A and B are shown apart, each in its own frame.
Chain A
Amino acid sequence: DVKVTQSSRYLVKRTGEKVFLECVQDMDHENMFWYRQDPGLGLRLIYFSYDVKMKEKGDIPEGYSVSREKKERFSLILESASTNQTSMYLCASSYATRLIGHEQYFGPGTRLTVT
């Protein structure tokens, strides 16, 4: 079974703090994704990565950056957290080298609250 793990289930941070969310997958997947999920809005893609050190912006990259130094690990960084970044953050991975978004497997999510 594919396993995608996220470093924290719940996180509370203060406005202006730098926040790191980590995601690890154990199936040697090429592609990894970061989404945020807000009620009534579904999932919105923040960034994705199709290879080590490679990244592409998604629909809402502003205020976020990412790092992929190793194939199994994809980090989301909030440089200076703001209250409008309070959300559920979901990490996903997929194996396809051509159909990058196909058949994604998700981690359990990190619920981030910024006060």
Chain B
Amino acid sequence: GEDVEQSLFLSVREGDSSVINCTYTDSSSTYLYWYKQEPGAGLQLLTYIFSNMDMKQDQRLTVLLNKKDKHLSLRIADTQTGDSAIYFCATFTDSNYQLIWGAGTKLIIKP
């Protein structure tokens, strides 16, 4: 079946940029998502990008999509302690009813 892969952990210093990467296998993915899960909480939809876009920016968040390499990234500028969370990448195709989820990347902020 189709797959989405992410590193399990990323550690950055407060104030630096964080880049969380994701690779996927389904070339027919039409929407690609980033969800955030804070400790003890459910998932919050952060942003998503449509497959005909290369980049989407929303304040401190920048999403880059490389369809050729099937690579999605989430950049968080000026990382703060409140950004500590698990970030999930997910893909969606029109012909399917469900998202394909990555295992999540835990973002650790060092002071």
Residues on A lying within 8 angstroms of B by beta carbon are 4, 33, 40-45, 48, 50, 56, 58, 90, 92, 98-109
A43-B43, A48-B97 given; name 7 further pairs at CB < 8 Å.
A42-B4, A42-B103, A100-B97, A101-B97, A105-B45, A106-B43, A107-B42
Residues on B lying within 8 angstroms of A by beta carbon are 4, 8, 31, 35, 40-45, 48, 88, 92, 94, 96-99, 101-104
Partner of A103, one of B4, B45, B97: B45
Interface SS of chain B: helix, strand, loop or mixed? loop
Residue of B nearest to A44 (CB): B101
Between A and B, how many residue pairs show CB distances below 8 Å? Answer: 53
Q: Are A42 and B104 in contact (CB under 8 A)?
A: yes
Docked Cα-Cα span, A84 to B42, in Å, equals 21
Partner of A42, one of B41, B94, B97, B102: B102
CB proximity of A33 to chain B, nearest CB, Å: 8
